[in-house]
Amino acid sequence: MEIKGSNEGHNRKEQFKEKTYPFSLGFILALCWCLLVCVSRIYMGMHSVLDVIVGVLYSVLILLFFLPLLDLIDGFNLSHRYAPLIIVCFHLGLALFSFTLDTWSTSRGDTAQILGTGAGVALASHVNYHLGLLPDPTSEQLPYTMPPLSAGLVGLSVLRLVLGVLVLMAMRALMKALTLPMVCRLVGVPSTDMRKARQHMEVELPYRYIVYGTVGFGVGFLVPLLFSYLHLS
């Protein structure tokens, strides 16, 4: 199964090699995005210039290490039978490590939120792969052609956007209402003041991880599945 997933990732890479955007265009877009993020962090006072520089260098090191393994990791996440368990444990372990670095802060909660969302999206991709949903396009389908702009196309796009956002907001509200009191009860933290309760690592970490893991799963699997049932794909 692992070899199959690895081969499929390699085949996709070879199949779409000539269908990619020019390197210069991609590099410019990525550079502009990185600059915007870095400047916003400094402007909002969330990080210093040194923090940003170290973060960029650290990201480059991570990229150099993981880029050659990207197809292998992608194939493993999609096809291996134990991938869901490993995805959940790996992201949760990173979140636990982040929370033990220092005292409580909003950035720790943001980290758990990002990791939970990533885990949810990865799980959704795994489910889509095994159910045969959202398959990769074939070489005959690429490159995509832009359909003519029409009122029907704009209306369909707006409908998908509004419906998707409403579904995700409902999922988020429901999971928040269920998860926070449940976690407080399990760890023995009073839930009379939710703001103070969330300053406890044992509350904030599972709360954010579960809620936004569910949202990530909804983005990658539940909402597209709903669109397919409603013939909005």
> DSSP assignment of 175-218, as one string?
HHHHHHHHHHHHHT---SSHHHHTTSHHHHHHHHHHHHHHHHHI
Confirm if 200 and 104 have CB atoms less than 8 A apart.
yes
Residue-level pLDDT at 215: 96
Residues 6+ apart with CB under 8 A from 77: 83, 87, 122, 125, 126
Confirm if 57 and 34 have CB atoms less than 8 A apart.
no
Go through 140-169 and write b for each residue having 16 or more CB atoms within 10 A of its CB, e for each that does not: eeeeeeeeeeeeeeeeeeeebeeebeebbe
CA angle, 135 then 141 then 143, to 5°: 115
Q: 202 is written with which tokens? A: 């044992």
Residue 78's closest CA among 12, 20, 141, 140?
A: 12
Residue-level pLDDT at 106: 66
Dist. CA 69–CA 2, nearest whole Å = 13
pLDDT in tens, the chain (233 residues): 444 545 555 555 555 555 556 778 888 898 899 889 888 888 888 778 888 888 888 888 888 888 888 888 888 999 898 999 999 898 888 877 776 655 556 677 788 888 899 999 999 999 999 888 877 777 777 777 778 889 988 999 999 999 999 999 999 999 999 998 898 999 888 878 888 888 788 888 889 999 999 999 999 999 999 999 998 87
Dist. CA 39–CA 162, nearest whole Å = 31
Confirm if 112 and 216 have CB atoms less than 8 A apart.
no
For residue 16, how far is the Cα from the chain centroid?
23
The full set of domain ranges for the chain reads 81-135+151-233
- Residue where the block lists tokens 């090191």: 61
How many other C-beta atoms lie within 10 A of the C-beta of residue 72? 15
CA angle, 125 then 131 then 132, to 5°: 85
